Structure 1
Amino acid sequence: MSELHPWADRYREEETPWDLGEAHPELVARIAAGDSAIIPPASGGKALVPGCGRGWDALALAQAGWEVTALDIVPDLELLVSSRLGPYGSTFHCGDFLNFLDCNSKGERQYDLIFDHTFFCALPPEQRTNFGLAAARLLKPGATLCSLVFPIGRDPALGGPPFGMEIADLCNCLLPLNFQLVNKIENVPAGKDSEWSAAWVEFLFSSY
């Protein structure tokens, strides 16, 4: 495995147990239920999916009407994800979410939604503060951050990725930056044959 691109090696070797082969079922259910946090405004909205992988969740959001930027550090994913998202006016960008900058010509924040599934849990715990800072830098005031919290209950001694993740871990890095936890659904489906549990959370961002 190469030192600089371990994630690229995992995709090339098909060692991607986090890839469900479809959008996460809870995301699909929230869209079907018309959850206001995950449905774009009538005027349109921009969503960002960090660590998008093969783009399943990004595709579900694009099909729901979002203009999606699917972000991943693995350049090999560009052709596949772009082919999936292109018909819906959405795009793939190769980059690191923690250092990502995307403002309009006036320097204003662009995004109405950030959707996290398997990105936060891939970060070493000492980098989690940077996740909150990146989200606050990219979201418009009044925007939403949705996350599938997983793997809940994983022993920290096991290391990662995935690193054990609790709702409190997200709160610790987001609440000091003017995010408010506005919805929490526990015991949602965790994926294929998972021994850990998951939760769905929604945070409202005011300003930073």
Structure 2
Amino acid sequence: MFDKEFWEKKYANSEAQWNAGSITTPIQQYIDQLTKKDLAILVPGIGHGHELMYLYENDFTNISGLDFTIVGALEAYGLMNNFPYGDVILEDFFEHEGQYDLIIEQTFFCSLPINKRSDYVEKMHDLLKPGGKLVGVLFDCYFNQETPPFGGNKEEYLELFKEKFNIQVLETAHNSIKPRAGRELFFIINKQHD
């Protein structure tokens, strides 16, 4: 139901209603404390490309953005002067292959149908190097709608991730942007060794 055409239409009609307009504070502050600039970093579902642009502008050298819509990929590329176009990958997340030290989650998870969440966990586990981290924010609320974004709660996320990841942090974000204040969880989880 939420296929490539669905998302192309959302972008074309400016209906990606949860676009924050810039990188959000929880993710920005996490990135700001990173000192190793050559980490292999993936941003899946780049959408408008704010996280990817922030990483690029802050001298991270091994970053990739992934989106399966050409509009999202081109918009992200257009925001970043001199960003290597080859690092914006036009591909379905579930078909992507690679190995990353860090994957940034910013509204990609909530864009997926709820029945794909277990597949998301498996794929994230596959894409991370041993000890790799999945870091980002998840909605801590529900939306009364049949289209994305889809919400959830802390207990659901703990249950979902516990088999494949060690949960370091999963707590209410104290620095969310105003529209999401009190409705967002910041998380840091590490890939468990096979």
| TM-score, with length taken from structure 2 | 0.85
Indicate which of 88, 97, 100 corresponds to 1:101. 97
- Structure 1: gaps spanning 5 or more residues: 103-109
- Deviation of residue 192 (structure 1)? 5.3
What is the RMSD computed on CA atoms of the aligned residues?
2.5
Structure 1 residue 118 displacement after superposition: 0.7
The gaps in structure 2 that reach 5 residues or longer are: none
- 2:12 corresponds in structure 1 to 12
Name the stretch that deviates more: 125-134 or 68-77.
Answer: 68-77
Q: Does 1:74 align with 2:62?
A: no
| Aligned equivalent of 2:153, options 166, 170, 174 | 166
1:79 and 1:158 mapped to 2: Cα distance?
A: 28
Residue pair 1:117, 1:149 contacting (<8 A) in 2 also? yes
The number of residue pairs the alignment matches comes to 191
Task: Give the percent of matched residue pairs that are identical in Structure 1 and Structure 2.
Answer: 23
| 1:175 to partner: Cα distance | 1.9
Instruction: Name the CA shift for 1:185/1:89 in 2 (closer, same or farther; >3 Å).
Output: farther
Give the counterpart letter for 1:74 in structure 2.
Answer: T
Following the alignment from structure 2 to structure 1, what is the Cα–Cα distance between the partners of residues 26 and 168? 17
1:116 aligns with 2:116: no
Paired with 2:35 and 2:78, the residues of 1 have a C-alpha distance of: 22
Paired with 2:181 and 2:31, the residues of 1 have a C-alpha distance of 26
1:198 aligns with 184
Q: Distance in 2 between matches of 1:3 and 1:31?
A: 30
User: Residue 138 of structure 1 aligns with which residue?
Assistant: 127
SS across alignment from 2:148:
coil
With normalisation by structure 1, the TM-score equals 0.80
* Residues 26 and 136 in structure 2, CA contact (< 8 A), matched pair in contact too: no
- Of structures 1 and 2, the one with the larger relative CO (CA 8 A, separation 6+) is 2
Q: Secondary structure at the match of 2:130?
A: strand
C-alpha distance in 2 between matches for 1:73 and 1:3: 9
Shift of 1:171: 2.8
